[in-house]
């Protein structure tokens, strides 16, 4: 770790020296930045001990109420003991505090669930789809599951679970509509037993059956647990696809990459670095953009204004205002 950080610092020093050379062009401004965080929710409220909220998602229902679902666990924070999904609601994104509800879902070992991690919820044809990591005692075969709900309250597990299995610790699903199909992005490694940390993608016509796995971002780091390609989130703005993932350069660190190909990014496509863990992008009905932050030991869930500097504010996007 120290050796890796030393290399990174040497690279930064060389970069800064090059910037100061006569005639050298300054680096372009970051295409994405954030403002000040507002704490919106704390799972610890009303509990006898501290509770964390980690990987999560936002969805807005037909009545205009916002819902958040996420990993939660009391101290000590042991990821593999995360067996419940937190649920809270608010009329506005920056409402403080959000209203806490009973757990949305709890682990069911009879369905092959080992953990409940990283929910992602979308709405399609009047039904809500929750994709999540159900884990496995075998880290080379982590399971991604689906549950559906008509009202964001009662959830029914899909009889076709698992939707897919992958390793090492494949998790953090995110769904993007793309033309006549859906793309599921998730984090894994190049080999089920380890290898390079990567973001992978599969495609589907019906949100249940997924195929054609491919690596869309490969990091040079090699390992098993964790890695810098967690929590992938993709936003299309005009012809560009922005991939948010991390943690990088520390627990609170999300990198942003830009590409015209939703199935390929490289580290050279880097266009921003944000102070956030398990970042989610969310857009309110007023059209304003926000970035979230949370994590083990972070004492709650936070939102900060997200500012784009790409000149594409009027372009079409995968996240229009009031998207349901």
Residue ranges of the domains in the chain?
A: 30-308
8 Å CB contact between 52 and 43: yes
Is the pLDDT assigned to residue 230 strictly greater than 80? Answer: yes
Cα dihedral 125, 99, 252, 283, rounded to 10, equals 40
**For the segment 205-219, what is each residue's pLDDT rounded down to a tens digit?**
999 999 999 999 999
Of 266, 217, 270, whose CA–CA distance to 28 is shortest? 270
**For the segment 25-63, what is each residue's pLDDT rounded down to a tens digit?**
334 558 999 999 999 999 999 999 999 999 999 999 999
pTM: 0.91
Q: What is the C-alpha radius of gyration for the chain, rounded to an integer number of angstroms?
A: 19
What confidence tier does 164 reach under pLDDT thresholds 50, 70, 90? Answer: very high
The residues with which 218 forms a beta bridge, in sequence order, are 198
> What is 30-308's CATH superfamily?
Glycosyl hydrolase domain; family 43 (2.115.10.20)
Q: What is the pLDDT of residue 29?
A: 59
Helices and strands in the chain, H and E counts = 1, 22
Q: Please count the other Cβ atoms lying within 10 Å of the Cβ belonging to residue 6.
A: 10
Backbone angles phi, psi at 67, to 5 degrees: -125, 140
Cis omega before residue 161 (within 30°)? no
Q: For the chain, what's the residue count?
A: 324
Of 161, 154, 266, 263, whose CA–CA distance to 203 is shortest? 263
Q: Please count the other Cβ atoms lying within 10 Å of the Cβ belonging to residue 118.
A: 27
């Amino acid at each position: 770790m120290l050796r890796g950080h030393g290399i990174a610092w040497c690279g930064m020093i060389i970069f800064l020296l090059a910037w100061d050379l006569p005639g050298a062009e300054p680096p372009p401004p970051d295409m994405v930045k954030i403002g000040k965080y507002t704490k919106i929710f704390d799972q610890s409220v009303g509990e006898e001990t501290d509770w964390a909220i980690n990987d999560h998602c936002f969805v807005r229902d037909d009545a205009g109420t916002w819902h958040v679902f996420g990993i939660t666990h009391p101290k000590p924070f042991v990821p593999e003991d995360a067996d419940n999904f937190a649920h809270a609601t608010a009329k506005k994104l920056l409402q403080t505090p959000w209203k806490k509800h009973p757990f949305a879902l709890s682990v069911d070992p009879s369905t092959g669930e080992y953990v409940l991690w990283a929910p992602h919820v979308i709405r399609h044809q009047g039904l809500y789809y929750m994709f999540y990591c159900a884990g496995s005692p075998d880290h080379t075969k982590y399971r991604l599951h689906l549950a559906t709900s008509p009202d964001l309250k009662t959830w029914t597990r899909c009889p076709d679970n698992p939707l897919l299995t992958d390793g090492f610790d494949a998790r953090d699903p995110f769904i993007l509509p793309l033309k006549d199909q859906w793309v599921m992005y998730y984090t894994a490694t190049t080999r089920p037993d380890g290898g390079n940390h990567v973001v992978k993608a599969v495609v589907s016509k019906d949100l249940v059956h997924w195929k054609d796995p491919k690596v869309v971002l490969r990091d040079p780091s090699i390992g098993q647990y964790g890695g810098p390609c967690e929590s992938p989130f993709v936003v299309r703005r005009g012809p560009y696809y922005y991939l948010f993932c991390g943690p990088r350069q520390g627990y609170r660190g999300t990198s942003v990459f830009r590409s015209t190909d939703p199935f390929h990014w490289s580290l050279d496509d880097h266009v921003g670095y944000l102070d956030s863990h398990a970042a989610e992008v969310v857009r309110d009905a007023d059209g304003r953009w926000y970035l979230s932050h949370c994590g083990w030991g972070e004492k709650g869930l936070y939102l900060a204004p997200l500012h784009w500097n790409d000149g594409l504010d009027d372009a079409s996007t995968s996240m229009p205002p009031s998207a349901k």
